[in-house]
Each structure stands twice: as structure tokens, then as C-alpha cells.
Chain A
Amino acid sequence: MANSPFTPGIAAGRLSSEVLDRNFADLHPPLDRHEALVAADRCYFCHDAPCVTACPTTIDIPLFIRQIATGTPEAAARTIFDQNILGGMCARVCPTETLCEEACVREVAESRPVEIGRLQRFATDTMMGRDSHPYERAEKTGKRVAVVGAGPAGLACAHRLAMYGHEVVVFDASPRPGGLNEYGVASYKTVDGFAQAEVEWLLGIGGIKVEQGARISDGLDLDALIKDHDAVFLGIGLAGVNALQIEGVDLQGVDDAVEFIADLRQAGDLSNLAIGRNVVVVGGGMTAIDVAVQSRLLGAETVTIVYRRGRDRMSASRYEQDLATSKGVRIVTNARPVRVVGDGAVQEAEFEYTRDVPNGLDGIGETFRLAADQVFMAIGQKLEDGSGALRIEGGKIKVDESGRTSLNGVWAGGDCATGGDDLTVTAVAEGRDAAEDIHKAIHGGLGTANETPRHGIESG
């Protein structure tokens, strides 16, 4: 092998293919049937369960776990998908440690919650392993809805609308559907092409047409969409990245973390993907963690995350921070970037220590430099320009609780819209709820989703 973690500069193939395969394998391997039964048995079937309250999509967690425990994982999957059609991806990427599993009473009791995320994956994997789609469309309504963005919000919205019998066209800017599921999630959280398989499975409902390579800011005209459809849903995410205005950011080797994660996800052979020997990541969110961990897994010798505030202010969960440190990532806090130093290519990054002051953050004058062959900026994404007449608030499309924007006939949800917390699961909830509202609006609340009848329960 020509290269190693000690190869200077930015280089590909620092690790052997075998090591790369191992490094990028499933972070949480799936439970087998018996493991699932044992894990399921730990659920107390709480009354008005705190885990359900903590779930942005309000999945009936105790019920689906009981369905697993009684040997009916497909019924469990149905319970999950009823609320969250992307339950398979959410089982993999949800920060369960700050949602359902944090709320689990067994977390309270013994600091070891029921493994809700892995159980959800067991159930959804079981059903998705079948060669069929569990939902049927209601009778066609003749209504047409445009969904912009094939990310979690758009897909959830499209599926629910299709279930109600509407015709849906999804316009997506990228070469492949999935949004951040396809381009933004760390590889080891969604292995074996799961994101594409999930989209394909979801589209199995029928009635959804996906057009790739169509971008709002680039040819796709919102006014025309409104005119041509009975409703429009925008799930366009935050496609722009925040830029840091400091000296040296144009040096070679100063890269955008989001882009790098996307490249990594799309890379056929990870041994062709170049990574720096000394990597510095600026930021404190999930993107920072994902890029830092994956840099290490690709063979970077040192990886340091530098965040301008304290650990407790990082938007990445404690669990994710620990994951990073367990992979050998160093986390430096209370330091902000001052300049990037180099001669053509980056050589060092300079930071200044900070302290919190009433109006924000203040440098204390003391600086330090980190050797860097590569500096990743992970300081947040923003709404891409081109939202036209839509009312924007705090950099996001202003929506009410039903997802309605300031424009009649236009709904929005997911990261691009106000109110959310930039999680996949929240985007799914918003897409789903907007679909419900769209359905009411364009169909007068007539008709119901064609849910498979439940045994023993009379329909009302």
C-alpha cells in the first residue's frame, strides 16, 4: 500500500480496503430475531408512554415493541409506518438518545433504555425485506400535487398524498432522490444502499412520479407549479452553506463538510477518496461529528473538532460526541477560527479561545494553531436563494403548524421551514402533517387514507 495515515498532505488509500470496509460497516448491527425478542421484553408497555411523547412522529412505541415480542414484527412495522413512512431510516439515524430512548423509563431506572431504535429497525427491516408495499392507494381523486425536494419531508408528504389517491410529482435537484438521507447521513449509519432501497420501497405505493435534476432556483418556477397543481409542498432543505469570512478560507484544502459527506456517500470505492493527514473540523453539530468521524475512519492521522462554545452548547448529542472521541477525534471547545494559514494549500488553522459574554461570544486574545492539511467547515446550512414571494423568518420559510406558507396553495416542511429542529424524523412528521392538511384543503376532507382494515376493529 502506497499511502498510510502518515502520508503528508491530502491523500487517498490511507487504509486498506479491508480496514475501510470494517470501519464503514453498520454502526449498530441489526438485531437478530432472538435478540429482538429479548430487547422487546424489556419494554414495560408504559401508560401514555414518555417515549411516544418524545417521538416527533408519535409512533406508538410500546405497541410496536409488544408486537415484536409476540412474534409479529410485520404488525410492528405497520404500527411504525402508519406514523412514519421513513421509519426504516429513522431507526438508523434518529438521535434516539435525545428522543425516545432518553425518555424511556428504563433510562430513568437503570440508565439503560429499551433499544427502541434497533427494535424499530428490526421491525421495519422485516417488512421491507418482503417484496411488496404494505399500503394501498385510495381511489384516485384527480387532484395533482407538486412536491419539491425528495428528502424526508418531501417523501413523507408524497407518500401520504398518494395514499389519499392524489397524483404526486416530486421535483428533486439532485441526481438521486433521498435528500440528506442519500447525501447527508454518515455512511456507517445507512449501509448497503439503504437510502435508495427505502425510496424505491416507498414509491411502491404508486401515484408518485419523481423528476430528478429540477431545482427551484434553477429553472423550476414556483408560480408555474402553483398554477399547474392543486397544491405545492416545498421540502427543499437548506441547500446553501454558511461561509466563514476569515483570512485563508480560499486556500486549497479548506472544504465544505456537507459536500465532503455527500461525496463520501456517493463514492464507489472509499480507497479512492482523499483525506488529509491532519484534519481540522470547525463546527459543533452533527455535520461536524459526521465529517470528523469519517475522516478518522478514512485514515486521517489526527482529527480535531474545534467548536466556539462549550461542550454543552454543541448541537451534536453527548452520545455523538462520545462516538467521535471513541474513534480518536479530539474535541476542542471554546475556540473560534481566526485564520487559515498556508502557501497555496492549507498548513495550519489558527484559533482564539473564547468566553461567553452577555451579547454572545468574545475572544480572550490567546491563540493557538493546529497543523492542518484539510480544514472542514461545518458551520451550518442556509436556505438557498430563490424562494420568491415566500415569507422568510429567521432564514427559513415561515409556516404555520399545518405547514402552510404565506402563499396560498403552498406548504413547506423539513429543514427549509420554520419550527423544526433539523432532524430527519421531524422532517417526516412535517411532511406527513402537511399532506394531511393539503388533503383537507384540496379534497374538502373527503375520503380517508386507504388503511388496511384492522382485524376485530369495526370501522366507524
Chain B
Amino acid sequence: MANLACEFVGIRSPNPFWLASAPPTDKEYNVCRAFEAGWGGVVWKTLGEEGPPIVNVNGPRYGAVWGADRRLLGLNNIELITDRPLETNLQEIKTVKRDYPDRAVVVSLMVPCVEDAWKAILPIVEDTGADGIELNFGCPHGMSERGMGSAVGQVPDYIEMVTRWCKQNTRMPVIVKLTPNITDIRYPARAAKAGGADAVSLINTVSSITSVNLDTYSPEPSIDGKGTHGGFCGPAVKPIALNMVAQIACDPESDGLPISGIGGVTTWRDAAEFLTLGAANVQVCTAAMTYGFKIVQEMISGLGDWMDEKGHASVDDVVGRAVPNFTDWQYLNLNYVTKARIDQDLCIGCGRCFAACEDTSHQAIAINPGRKFEVIDEECVACNLCVNVCPVEDCITMEELAPGAVDPRTGQDVVADYGNWTTHPNNPGACAAE
């Protein structure tokens, strides 16, 4: 049976599933329930500096994007950091860590961008016995208007500076949480590394407006007729998050920097994907907010079963396994030729492949008598759109043409050798193959 226990920047947890810093981790009550349900760790909801707590809006904090049957695909929030007194949070963190010593308890922090503010909060957090801190440089709404959150995360120099302050003023591991609301995620990751960060976690939420009320013309969630941008999360952001995690994992300049993967992790499968692309653990929020803490049980069983099936004994065996296969477009093998194949026994005759190909692609699917949809190899560029729009799993597949076979579209033989754009004759900058 696979061992799911992990160690992330020296912090141990019985499994790689942590709850991200967010409403589910704002209170002792919630966190205890999470640990009882089986979560391996939590990142406590972001604490601010000493003084009167921040205030939240008193209208709706969330907006949503739904799929069929009101399945929540994405959630947008305009909630700020914790609005409870600092002392209350610290006391509860201490209690929780004492009661659940085997679980990871990391504290998220966000204070003004001056060294004294950080110097003030770090020791009192350290006193709680917490395992580490996460610097919230990601929150895109509200706090960013006050020079914190993503306002810091969007300036690599600030990331490096604040990270350094923290490293200099605490013995706790420092995880830097990155905002996706930048153009190239590698720069903030490099800055975190330069500042001495023990790890990065990403992504924080994506700046968003989920919808507009077409009666009141207010963006949602509407506060007295006005809306503001929020932070988007949930299944819809997973592809963005996976790419950003992989970008950092592949970047030689941040080589070896541990990553905590965040962004739309909803099932064990999502988690496994993050791990293979270089995350050493994952953090979850929206899935828990949608279904409750119990989902971690599916994540644990699913990941364990998959690891057993693949023969991976530990989480470390999984981490980064897909990273070597993540490459630039220019290195993709242009001699790899596939054609769509439609399994006539599985086909239910909906014709979506035809509509998609005929209207929006390459006119490579024919409707033959009896509503028989068949691929025209002479036209098929293997784009895969038909596969993606087909409602029947495995009905349309991509079949590789063996070397030596003729591609009916190009009339060329399929070559066995690897050949990419860098050496392609159509590339003006091609280097001759050696």
C-alpha cells in the first residue's frame, strides 16, 4: 500500500492534501473538523497585523460559474483576510497545533510592506508552534488596493525583499504564495528563491468578474448595486494553475524550489496531476467549500489506489514525473502523425464531430449513408477537436500512423526519426540537423 505521508520543507503531514488559506481555515472549529475528516494539513487563513481587524463587506462575498445541474465550476470571492482579532487566531492556532501534532499547520500572513510590520508579527506566530508561514502575495482584491497581497506579488523586487525580511526574522520555513495575475510566473518564483524562500505555493486566485446582473447592470456579487473584481478559483482555473506549476518546475533558475500546488484541485486525479508536474503537495479550497471536508477521503483513497496500480511507493516517487515531458512547442516531434478514428460500434450518431470539423476545422469528416460518420484521412490534420466534442468516451481516438505509412493528407511517408521545428526546412532560422 502506497505511503501518502509527506515532508514539505521539513513539515510533515500524513498525506499531501492541505487546505489552502481561505475561509475553511479561518477558525479552530473548522480546522478541527478538517483534521477529523482526514486533511493532512492546513494553511491558516491569512492574518494581518495587530490592531483593529479588517472588515469584510456585509453583502455577498462570492460569485459563481455553474455547469450542468448547477455544478460549481468556478467561484469568485471578494473576502479579505481574517476579520477576527489577531490574538484569537493565534490562540486557536496554538491549540490546534497542540491537539493535532501530526498535522501540518502553516500560517498565512499579510502585513504592510515595511520590515517592522513583519518583524512584529513573525515572533508571535512562531510562539504558536506553527510549522511554517506562507506569505500571501497573491490575493488580488481589496488588500491589493492597500499595497498588499498581489500588489506585492506583481513586483518581483518586493517579493524578494519581503521574503528576505521573513527569512532573517524567523526560524520557520517560508512559503511564498504567488499570484497568477502576472505575465510570466517564473519571475516572481525566481524572486522568491532569491529572497531565500523555502518554497512557493501557487496559484492564488485569478482576478475576475464572474457575471453581470442583466437587470441591474451590476457585476456579481453585487454590493448595493456595485461590484468589484474578485479572485477566481475552482475547477475552471486548474489548467492555468497546472501550467504555472510546470513552468516553475522546469525553470533552471528556480531548480529545486519546492512547490505547493494550488488551483482547482477537486479530485485525487487533479492532485496526482499537480504532483507529476512538480508540486510536492497540493492545497485545496473550492472543492471543500463546495462539498465539505469529507472529499479528502476520496482524494486519499484515489491517490493511494493509483499509486499502488503504478507501483509508486511514496509521494516523492510521483512528484515531477511528468516534468521531463513538458517541453517547448519547438521541440515537439513534427514527424509524429495521427489520424482520428471513429469506432462505429460506439458511435451514437450525434454528428457533433461533423459539425465541429465541417464548420470550424478541416472538413475531414464525412456523413455517409445511414448517418455513418467517417474520417477523411486526406483532410484530417489530427487536431483532436472531434475527440473533444464527442460525447462518448473512447468513441473517437487518435491513431498513430506507423513509420513507412503514407500520410494521405500530405502524400509523404511517415518517418521514424524525430524531427522538430528547429530543424524543419520551413523554419527560416532552422539549424541543419547534424
Spell out A's residues near B (CB within 8 Å): 34, 37-38, 41, 44-50, 105-106, 108-109
Contact partner of B354 (CB less than 8 A), chosen from A47, A50, A109, is A47
B interface, size bucket: 10 to 19
Docked complex Cα distance between A330 and B68 (Å): 41
- B69 and A41 contact, CB distance less than 8 A: yes
Q: Judge whether A44 and B352 touch: CB under 8 Å.
A: yes
Q: How far is the CB of A52 from chain B (nearest CB, A)?
A: 11
- Contact partner, A38, options B69, B348, B349, B350, Cβ 8 Å: B69
7 contacts between A and B (CB under 8 A): A37-B69, A47-B350, A47-B352, A49-B351, A50-B371, A106-B348, A109-B392
* Inter-chain contacts of A109 with B (CB < 8 A): 348, 391-392
Decide: A41 near B68, CB < 8 A? Known: A50-B371, A109-B392: yes
Q: Give B71 Cβ to nearest chain A Cβ, in Å.
A: 10
A47-B354, A47-B355 known; A105+B69 contact, CB < 8 A: no
Q: In the complex, what residue of chain A is closest to B69 when comparing beta carbons?
A: A38
Pick from B70, B351, B391: contact of A47, CB below 8 A: B351
Of chain A, the residue at the smallest CB distance from B66 is A37
Given the complex, which residues of A lie within 8 Å of B348, measured CB to CB?
Answer: 105-106, 108-109
The docked-state distance in angstroms from the alpha carbon of A38 to that of B69 is 5
Chain B residues with CB under 8 A of A34: 70
A141 to chain B, nearest CB (A): 40
Point out which of A48, A49, A106 has the most chain B C-beta atoms below 10 A from its C-beta. A48
Chain A residues, Cβ within 8 Å of B69? 37-38, 41
A105–B68 touching, CB < 8 Å: no
List A contacts of B392 (CB < 8 A): 109
Report A-chain residues with C-beta under 8 Å of the C-beta of B351.
46-49
Measured between beta carbons, the chain A residues less than 8 angstroms from B68 are: 38, 41
Q: Are A44 and B391 in contact (CB under 8 A)?
A: yes
In chain B between 345 and 393, which residues have their CB closer than 8 angstroms to a CB of chain A? Answer: 348-352, 354-355, 367, 371, 391-392
- B380-409 vs A: 1/0 string, CB under 8 Å? 000000000001100000000000000000
Contacting residues, chain B, for A47 (C-beta < 8 A): 350-352, 354-355
A109 to B352, CA, bound (A): 14
Chain A residues near B352 (CB-CB < 8 A): 44-47
Tell me the bound Cα distance from A248 to B349 in angstroms.
Answer: 54
Chain B residues lying within 8 Å of A108, measured Cβ to Cβ, are: 348-349
Instruction: Give A105 to B367 CA distance when docked, in angstroms.
Output: 16
Nearest chain B CB to A44 CB, angstrom units: 5
A residues near B355, Cβ cutoff 8 Å:
47
Contacts of A44 in B (CB 8 A): 350, 352, 391
Complex formed: what's the CA distance from A34 to B71 in Å? 12
CB 8 Å contact bits of B57-96 with A (1 = contact, 0 = none): 0000000000011100000000000000000000000000
In the docked arrangement, what's the CA distance between A34 and B70, Å? 9
Bound CA–CA A44/B355 (angstroms): 12
Q: Which residues of B contact A49 (CB under 8 A)?
A: 351
Shortest beta-carbon contacts, A-B, top 7 = A47-B351, A41-B68, A47-B355, A105-B348, A109-B348, A46-B350, A105-B350
Write out the residue numbers on chain B whose beta carbons fall within 8 Å of the beta carbon of A106: 348
CA distance A37 to B70 in the complex (A): 9
B354, closest chain A residue (CB): A47
- Apart from A47-B350, A47-B354, A109-B392, list 5 A-B contacts with CB within 8 A: A38-B68, A50-B371, A105-B350, A108-B348, A108-B349
CB-nearest residue of chain B to A48: B351
* Residues in chain A near residue B391, CB distance under 8 A: 44, 109
In the complex, the chain A residue whose C-beta lies closest to that of B359 is A47
**Which residues of chain A have C-beta atoms less than 8 A from B354's C-beta?**
47
User: Shortest beta-carbon distance, A50 to chain B, in Å?
Assistant: 7
Partner of A50, one of B70, B349, B367: B349
CB distance from B388 to the nearest CB of A (A): 14
B123 CB, nearest partner CB in chain A, Å:
53
Chain A residues with CB under 8 Å of B371's CB are 50
What is the bound-complex CA distance between A81 and B349, given in angstroms?
27
In whole angstroms, what is the CA distance A404 to B303 when docked?
Answer: 70
Task: Kindly state the separation between the CA atoms of A109 and B349 in the bound complex, as whole angstroms.
Answer: 9
Nearest Cβ on chain A to B342's Cβ, whole angstroms: 14
Residues of B within 8 A of A50 (CB): 349, 371
Nearest neighbor of B71 in chain A, beta-carbon distance: A41
Q: Complex Cα distance A47/B69, Å?
A: 24
Minimum distance in angstroms from A111 CB to a CB of chain B:
11
Give CA–CA (A37, B66) in the complex, Å: 12
Q: Which residue of B lies closest to A53 (CB)?
A: B371
Q: Within 8 Å CB of B367, what residues of A?
A: 48
Give CA–CA (A37, B354) in the complex, Å: 26
- A443 vs chain B, min Cβ distance (A): 37
Give complex CA distance A42, B355 in Å.
18
Q: Which residues of B contact A41 (CB under 8 A)?
A: 68-69
Give chain A nearest CB distance to B265 CB in angstroms.
25
Chain B positions within 8 Å of A37 at CB level:
69
In the bound complex, how far is the Cα of B344 from the Cα of A108, in angstroms?
13
Shortest distance between the CB of B394 and any CB in chain A (Å): 13
Give the chain B neighbours of A48 by CB distance below 8 A. Answer: 351, 367
CA–CA, A46 and B352, complex, Å: 6
A35: min CB distance to chain B, Å:
10
Q: CB within 8 Å of A: which of B91-148?
A: none
CB contacts (< 8 Å) of B350 on chain A: these are 44, 46-47, 105
B407 to chain A, nearest CB (A): 27
Give the nearest-CB partner of A50 in chain B.
B349
Residue on B nearest A109 in the bound complex, by CB: B348
Docked pose: A38 CA to B367 CA in angstroms? 30
The chain B residue sitting closest to A43, CB to CB, is B350
| Highest count of chain B CB atoms <10 Å: which of A46, A47, A108, A109 | A47
Interface string of B322-350 (1 = CB under 8 A from A): 00000000000000000000000000111
A49 to B355, CA, bound (A): 11
Closest-CB distance, B114 to chain A (whole angstroms):
50
The residues of B that contact A105 with a CB separation of less than 8 Å are 348-350
Which residue on chain B has the smallest CB distance to residue A46?
A: B350
Bound-state Cα–Cα, A108 to B392, Å = 11
Minimum C-beta distance from A116 to chain B (A):
14
A454 to B74 alpha-carbon distance, docked (Å): 33
Query: What is the bound-complex CA distance between A13 and B68, given in angstroms?
Result: 47
B162 to chain A, nearest CB (A): 46
With both beta carbons as reference points, the residue of chain A lying nearest to B373 in the complex is identified as: A47
Chain A residue nearest to B353 (CB atoms) is A47
Whole-angstrom CA separation of A38 from B352 in the bound complex: 20
**Which residue of chain B has the shortest Cβ distance to A42 in the bound complex?**
B68
How far is B352's CA from A45's CA once the two chains are assembled, in angstroms? 8
Q: Which residue of A lies closest to B365 (CB)?
A: A47
Give CA–CA (A190, B391) in the complex, Å. 35
Q: How far is the CA of A47 from the CA of B350 in the complex (A)?
A: 6
Q: How far is the CB of B391 from chain A (nearest CB, A)?
A: 5
Task: Give Cα distance in the complex from A87 to B68, angstroms.
Answer: 26
* A105, chain B: closest CB distance, angstroms: 4
CB distance from A69 to the nearest CB of B (A): 9
In the bound complex, CA of A108 to CA of B367 (Å) = 18
CB-CB nearest in chain A for B346:
A109
Within 8 A of A (CB), among B2-37: none
Whole-angstrom CA separation of A106 from B391 in the bound complex: 10
CA distance A41 to B349 in the complex (A): 18
Q: How far is A47 from B386 in the complex, measured between Cα atoms in Å?
A: 13
**Cβ of A455 to closest chain B Cβ, rounded Å:** 15
| 8 A Cβ contacts from B292-334 to A | none
A41 to B68, CA, bound (A): 6
Bound CA span A80–B337, Å: 46
